[in-house]
Amino acid sequence: MSDPGKIIEIEVLRYNPENDEAPHSTVYKVPFTDDMSVLQGVQYIKDNFDGSLTFRWSCRMAICGSCGMMINGVPKLSCETFLRDYYPNRISLEALAHFPIEKDLVVDWSGFMEKLESVHPYIIPKEKRSPEEGEYLQTPEQFGEYIRYAACINCTLCYSACPQFGLDPDFIGPGALAILHRYNMDSRDGGATRRMELVASEEGVFTCSAAAYCSEVCPKHVDPANAVNINKINASKDYFLRFLRPKGES
């Protein structure tokens, strides 16, 4: 039960493309307890004030990555952000920055999904093995090379934090590039050459302006900025090594 004596103002940027010419803000006074997350506050608004309020959520455990929103201008997962940390001030909620708004706090992720698909986010076997030959073995050291980047939950907070993605929506972006790096670093994978063409492309790593805010907001500490920087180095090496290879050797 919420303590009726403790109330926080939540300002939500509302937008219904069927009725609204532009987004507009609505303020709600929400009773809360110290264990209530921002997501629970939004759910309280939907249950008690306006059932048409639209937002995404699934697991409420910072695993699914679907409840991201701009909280006081910062991209965060609303399920792991608590109302108590903003009280007694008003808290403002908006849809994730740099994405088209579908309705209220829900954005269109189709562009991100296309970018994710383009990096081949799966293992392309270095060598084919039959079931009879057994599994692909990997040492703990080899596993450690990429495990940090495998923690990405596709929440797209890094895209909302990325100033370059805000200027250039075609930029592959920090999240997809971190996942690309995860598979390139996997000892079982043989698709790095294919992915490096994308890394070095016009919308690849060199579009990054190195703000590193993407890593700051990542809820899983994936450090996409580091993945981008490593691949800037790798792409530069690939370019200059071409001049050292014998003619006819790719």
Q: How far is CA 114 from the centre of its chain?
A: 14
Residues 194, 188 contacting (CB under 8 angstroms):
no
Fold category of 7-107 in CATH: Ubiquitin-like (UB roll) (3.10.20)
pLDDT in tens, 69-79: 999 999 999 99
Superfamily of domain 110-241: Alpha-helical ferredoxin (1.10.1060.10)
Residues 84, 34 contacting (CB under 8 angstroms):
yes
* Sequence-separated (6 or more) residues with CB below 8 Å from residue 190: 124, 125, 126, 127
pLDDT in tens, 11-53: 999 999 999 999 999 999 999 999 999 999 999 999 999 999 9
**Which sequence spans correspond to the domains of the chain?**
7-107, 110-241
* Sequence-separated (6 or more) residues with CB below 8 Å from residue 60: 37, 39, 67, 79
pLDDT band, residue 242 (cuts 50/70/90): low
Residues 105, 54 contacting (CB under 8 angstroms):
yes
Judge if 7-107 and 110-241 fold alike in CATH terms.
no
pLDDT in tens, 78-102: 999 999 999 999 999 999 999 999 9
